[in-house]
Amino acid sequence: MGELKRYTGSCHCGKVRFKVDADLSGKVVSCNCSMCGRTGTMLAFVPASQFILEQGEDALTDYQFGKKKIHHLFCATCGVKSFARGTGKDGTPTAAINVRCLEGIDLKALDTLEYDGKSL
């Protein structure tokens, strides 16, 4: 396990801005479910305590599907889904960060886990 690093991120138009303390040296999830497959989302999961929404709570729209356990949040202005909220298997509040929305990330350097969400 690597070291936590502070990242900043946002949606496309900048109305939603956040900071997150994350270790991106591990696996980043690339899922092929009906949502992620269409949006190209790449996810890193962190405890909610490591996520700070700096601005834009009022700009977020919530979308839920399937078991309705994950709050897929997106900017109502530009439509970008920069993070989601949910709970881990143990019930811990969790944030799923779209690493494509983080500043200064080299996506090619990330270790990606291909997750078959389509089969669920």
Query: Does residue 62 form part of some domain?
Result: yes
Q: How many domains does the chain fold into?
A: 1
Taking only the tens of pLDDT, the chain with its 120 residues reads 678 999 999 999 999 999 999 999 999 999 888 888 888 899 999 999 999 999 999 999 998 887 888 899 999 999 999 999 999 889 999 999 999 999 999 999 999 888 878 787
Domain that holds residue 32: 5-114
Query: Does residue 33 form part of some domain?
Result: yes
User: Strands 83-87 and 71-75: what pairing?
Assistant: antiparallel
pLDDT at 119: 83
CATH number for the domain harbouring residue 51? 2.170.150.70
Query: Does residue 120 form part of some domain?
Result: no
